[in-house]
Structure 1
Amino acid sequence: MKTRLLFFLLLLSSLAGIAQEKRPNVLLIITDDQGYGDFGFTGNPHVQTPTIDQLAAESSWFTSYYVSPVCAPTRASLLTGRYSLRTGIRDTYNGGSIIAADEFTLAEMLKSASYKTGIFGKWHLGDNYPSRPMDQGFDESLIHLAGGMGQVGDFTTYFQGDSSYFDPILWHNGKQQSYEGYCSDIFAEEAIRFMQVSHSSGSEPFFCYLSFNAPHTPLQVPDEYYQKYKDIDPTLGFSTEMDPSDLMSEQDKEDARKVYAMVDNIDYNMQRVLAALDEMEIAENTLIIFMTDNGPEQYRYLSGLRGRKSSVYQGGVKVPLLLKYPGKYPQPNEISTTAVHMDIFPTLAELCQAELPKDRVIDGHSLVPLLEGKPVEWADRSLFFYWTRKYPELYENMALQRGNYRLVASGNYDADWPDFDLYDIANDRGESDNINSSNPRLAQSMKVSMDSLYQELIQSPNLQNQIPIIVGSPNENPSFLSRNDANGQRGIWNQEEVFGKWRLMVLDGTYNLKFKFLKPVPEGGRMLVELGPLVFQQQQEEESDWIEMKGVKLNDMTADLIPTYMGGGRNILPFWVEIERVQP
């Protein structure tokens, strides 16, 4: 009897071990501003993507997959399973790309299921505590700041100008670190290293988020790749209905050459990453997900779709989704049911045996039934798309998709359904035939759904309450406040005379404040700092691009930091602010 009991316990233990082993490693790869037409497998005869084309041939390809029109909202939805507005993400800058600390990310979910987690590349959901990758579930983090290398928010590469993608200063686990080489090569190399270390350290699976910042602007690429495309005419080789030549200027053509060269480099790095999985003999039990974050920024081949990045037409929001998991789904196939970025979160929860949070709305649905060839009751759900700066503008660049129908709004706040455009994208992929007038009931019904989703989302607590940056915490001290996270005047970028402010949660203590300016400010002015009811000023005796205020006593509070240099008849906003708590 004891022998049988022992055998039974050993069998249960063995089965539990097998079940644990079956949890896949996860490699989630996303590229930046790579449109639907920037692949060989979607019909582009110019760009060379043999690795990604082969991946498509071996994967479950979701042919009707949608994301947000721009970067940060897509990433927020991808990592939370929720509409981005619920997470506090409302913009790509203007202080609107900071994820709320109480959001539960994909990394946090998988980490709670004993996964090792790492991100390599673009984050774009907050560069300060508590919104950094290392605060949101990632064990290892190698990122650039803000929305793009060389942009104003990524001040560690901004001053490199036309070479910001080469030999960059990146942020490794919250600290600045210099690297040699081209950015995409660096991110791929470090992702490979992370997977190798994670695999060799034990039986725990890994989640690797490889988030290439290419082919986002600035369009910089090693010359060996550019030389392959420098003489092509990117308007040739297409059928008449998909011919992009009437939209492409000479600058667009040159931009396309550079983009294709950057994509070629991504494909090379994809080959390196996939080869590493084979070398570790873990490809069979690794779930690979490949996608892009929105449509192209510049005009080029779009496989017949209308619109580009920032547009709610399909060209701005439709991208490929490839999912390869040989150990569970060995047969490649094409899945036409509409899927969306918010579906990745619950899909991975199911495949990785992780628990979904029960204290919040999850807008996505698991794609596992579709991978298994089963029908789903939510196939014709309503999906809301929008894009305008700072906050959603009612009926401006908004869309609702339900099954094969898309209702697109672009008009005044009091527009009604006859003012909208309705498209049957199953028969009109280019969204050129407005069928609104012949389908009034459908148009009215879809407008009701659009209004309902809009009203629900704009009432999200994380949207209504500006997400503060916490300063003075031992988790991040000093803190660097960049232009990307400055709110205030619309469209803050690299202007000198512009009104800006940072929403802060300050811990009581004594601080040193440093203000960096793009250009030296004139002597004889004064530095004025406002923080809620506190106001400090300091006279500036000499011309300088740095001003420092030491020993500033601040109280516990949540308020807007408003720094302004007033001199020579000008009010100048610092390019960035360094704030360090020197005494509690």
Structure 2
Amino acid sequence: MVSTLLLALPLLAAGSAESSAPRPNVLLILADDLGVEALGCYGGTSYETPNLDRLAAGGRRFTHCFSNPYCSPSRAELLTGREPLHNGIPRVIFDPQNHREFLDPAREQTVANLFRDAGYATAAAGKWQLSFLTQRDTPHALGFDRSQFWPIQIEGSRTSRFAEPSFWGDRPDGTRGPWSKPDAYGPDEYNAFVQAEIDRASTAEEPFFIYYAMLLPHFPWEPTPDSDDPLKRTSSLATSSKGNLKYLPDMVAYMDRLVGQTLSHLEEAGALENTVVVFLGDNGCDVGVTSKRTVPGPDGPRIVVVPGGKGTLTDAGTRVPLIVSWPGTVDPGVDEGLVEFSDVLPTLADLCDLPAPRNPINGVSFADRLGVPGMEDRPDRTWVHIQDKSRRQVRSRTHILTDRGAFRPVIGPGERPAAPLSGALSPELQAERNRLAAALQAVETFDGP
């Protein structure tokens, strides 16, 4: 069956890429709480995203990329190529007293490990949330030579990620640990770190892999340096409030601006033409967010209102932007096929001729769908797997089957949830249900370490 094959496909064999070509750099950008409805290139009308829209126009835009509904499981799957069921991160890591999970470098290997083993300079910045850094400082063991992250807590006290930010990782003086910068804006500092790592690798004439896990536009919704209100550390830090939604458009715009600055820096460093840029969101927009999006309809384009679905196993919670750009190499266009987060690792392995990972992976390379010469054809993915804690489901382009047995049609943006199908099914629907049931079982019994 195709569903089983998708779980067992090997990576492209080493040496299959053009050996005479220089190895490309990779900049992997992950926005925080960003569904497809937030970007203009996906029909979004609520926010200004000109830089990402230009990136999409010059690269490949995927319309059906799926994450998990929360950050930690999505990040672990993205970096390992393995489902939450297998990589040990089925839930959000946010409370050191109640959640003991962490991405264990003794058990798991990330795409950064593969890049470092292949001779790349590796770095990461922004939001980690795959361990409590004050307890388990794991980024280096998971492949990152240098890193700067926002620590959720320091010595039991919550920290700020935006105004008056706190940091954990490689300090400017060469030591490693926590520090703060009262007069700074956190996203600016991480953006500067990414640009410095680009310069560091370029000066050393080393290829680089940089994982840029942006903090924006996750709550607390607070002013940015471009907002009319003065930037300050708000009361939301102490009260756990999400802040004020009036600042969300400013935060989305500032996220877009930082991406544009980094792309401009790549160009100034002479690295843009040989850099694969991958942009994604880690899950859908927050449940407190309502956005507008233009979608096609039988009578022409129409505007729909899309409530955010973060934390839900719906398209609003798991359907996220995916843009891949490599100027002059990736063919511009739109891909409407299915992609899930585990697919990014084998795709980058194909594009950059990386060594095979030691663990079996769930992902399937989509490098052949980018128009890059020399990439081996792969069977099209016909379903994706999504997980939140113990809840799991598989989704095709037309239907969803949960691990609790609910089988329902996929709904469009802004439409009311469809009731599970019950009673006798047509032969075609029964065949679809059986296929998705086999996929759920295949993921569960996948031969991990």
Q: TM-score, normalised by structure 1?
A: 0.62
- Is there any run of 5+ residues in structure 2 with no aligned partner, and where? 1-17, 171-175, 231-240, 294-303
Q: What secondary structure is seen at the aligned counterpart in 2 of 1:260?
A: helix
Q: CA deviation at 1:19?
A: 3.4
Q: Work out the CA distance in 2 between the residues paired with 1:96 and 1:157.
A: 16
Q: Which amino acid aligns with 1:165?
A: F
Query: Given the alignment of the two structures, is residue 368 of structure 1 paired with residue 367 of structure 2, yes or no?
Result: yes
In 2: Cα distance, 1:302 partner to 1:421 partner: 28
Q: Which amino acid aligns with 2:409?
A: Y
Counterpart CA distance in 2 for 1:444 and 1:307 is 28
Alignment partner, residue 404 of structure 1? 398
Q: Matched residues in 2 for 1:98 and 1:36: separation? A: 28
Alignment counterpart, residue 212 of structure 2, candidates 203, 210, 213: 210
Q: Secondary structure in 1 aligned to 2:291?
A: coil
Partner residue in 1 for 2:188:
185
| Equivalent position of 1:533 in the other structure | none
CA contact (8 A) 1:306 1:313 kept: no
Structure 2 counterpart of 1:422? 408
Partner of 1:44: 44
AA in 2 matched with 1:198: A
SS of 2:277's equivalent?
Answer: strand
Q: Is the 8 A contact 1:424 1:435 kept in 2?
A: no
2:64 maps to 1:58: no
Residue number in structure 2 paired with 1:71: 71
C-alpha displacement of 1:214 = 1.6
Distance (Å, rounded) in 1 between the aligned partners of 2:439 and 2:208: 38
Counterpart in the other structure of 1:166: 163
Greater per-residue strand proportion: 1
Tell me which amino acid in the other structure corresponds to 1:405: H
Alignment CA distance shift 1:436-1:323 (3 Å): same
Separation in 1 of the partners of 2:417 and 2:340? 23
- Per the alignment, in what secondary structure is the counterpart of residue 45 of structure 2? coil
| Alignment correspondent of 1:112 | 117
Displacement of 1:443 after TM fit?
Answer: 5.9
Shift of 1:61: 0.5
Note closer, same or farther for the CA distance 1:48–1:135 as it changes in structure 2 (3 Å cut): same
SS at 1:384 equivalent: strand
Alpha-carbon distance in 2 for matches of 1:265, 1:361: 38
**One-letter amino acid matched to 1:300:** T
Identify the residue that residue 35 of structure 1 maps to in structure 2: 35
Matched, 1:299 2:289: yes
- Between 1:163-172 and 1:299-308, the stretch displaced more is 299-308
Q: Deviations over 1:320-377 (max 9, x none)?
A: 1000001422x310011101111110011111111122x4221001111111288642
Separation in structure 1 between the aligned mates of residue 378 and residue 399 of structure 2, nearest angstrom: 18
Separation (CA, whole Å) in 2 of partners of 1:183 and 1:315 = 28
What's 1:259 paired with? Answer: 248
Matches within 5 A, 1:485-504: none
Q: Distance in 1 between matches of 2:245 and 2:369?
A: 35
Counterpart AA for 2:276 = L
Distance in structure 1 (CA, Å) of the matches to 2:255 and 2:307: 25
Moved more, 440-449 or 180-189: 440-449
SS of the residue aligned with 1:108? helix
8 Å contact from structure 2 (residues 120, 208) kept in 1:
yes
Matching residue of 1:493: none
Q: Distance in 1 between matches of 2:378 and 2:307?
A: 28
Q: Write out aligned runs for 1:313-328 (5 A).
A: 313-328=314-329
The offset of 1:455, in angstroms, is 4.0
Q: 1:81-134: CA deviations, max 9, x gaps?
A: 110231111221342540122211111000011000000101111135766211
Matches within 5 A, 1:190-269: 190-202=193-205, 204-222=206-224, 224-225=226-227, 255-269=244-258
> Does structure 1 residue 289 correspond to structure 2 residue 300?
no
Query: What is the CA distance between 1:444 and its match in structure 2?
Result: 4.1
SS of corresponding position for 2:140: helix
Q: Which amino acid aligns with 1:301?
A: S
Q: Closer, same or farther in 2 for the Cα pair 1:95/1:320, shift >3 Å? A: same
Identity of aligned residues (%): 26
Structure 1 residues 368-517: aligned runs within 5 Å:
368-372=367-371, 376-381=378-383, 383-388=384-389, 392-393=390-391, 398-408=392-402, 417=405, 420-424=406-410, 430=415, 432-434=417-419, 436-437=421-422, 438-439=425-426, 441-442=430-431, 444-446=433-435, 448-449=437-438, 451-453=440-442, 455-456=444-445
Q: Which is worse superposed, 300-309 or 193-202?
A: 300-309
- 1:20 shift after superposition: 5.9
d(CA) in 2 for partners of 1:208, 1:47:
27
**Aligned partners of 2:397 and 2:410 also within 8 Å:** no
Return closer, same or farther for 1:271/1:435 CA change in 2, 3 Å cut-off: same
Partner of 1:516: none
Is 1:133 aligned to 2:123, yes or no?
no
Instruction: Give 5+ residue unaligned stretches, structure 1.
Output: 1-17, 146-152, 229-250, 410-414, 462-584
Q: How far apart, in 2, do the equivalents of 1:443 and 1:226 lie? A: 52
1:43 Cα shift? 2.6
Partner SS state of residue 147, structure 2: strand
- CA 1:205/1:367 → structure 2, altered by over 3 Å: closer, same or farther? same
Displacement after TM superposition at 1:178 (Å): 2.8
Report if aligned partners of 1:77, 1:83 keep a CA contact under 8 Å in 2.
yes
- For residues 32 and 156 of structure 1, do their structure 2 counterparts lie closer, same or farther at Cα, with a shift above 3 Å needed? farther
Give 1:267 shift: 1.3
SS of equivalent to 1:301: strand
Q: How many residues align?
A: 394
Aligned to 1:95: 99
| 1:69-90 deviation line (CA, Å, top 9, x unaligned) | 1000000010011102311112
Counterparts of 1:11-22 in structure 2, within 5 Å, are 19=19, 21-22=21-22
Secondary structure in 1 matching 2:78: helix
Aligned equivalents of 1:96 and 1:456: distance in 2? Answer: 24
Query: Residues 306, 362 of structure 1: CA spacing in aligned structure 2 closer, same or farther, 3 A cutoff?
Result: farther
Conserved 8 A contact 2:407-2:433: no
Give distance in 2, aligned partners of 1:96 and 1:421.
Answer: 33
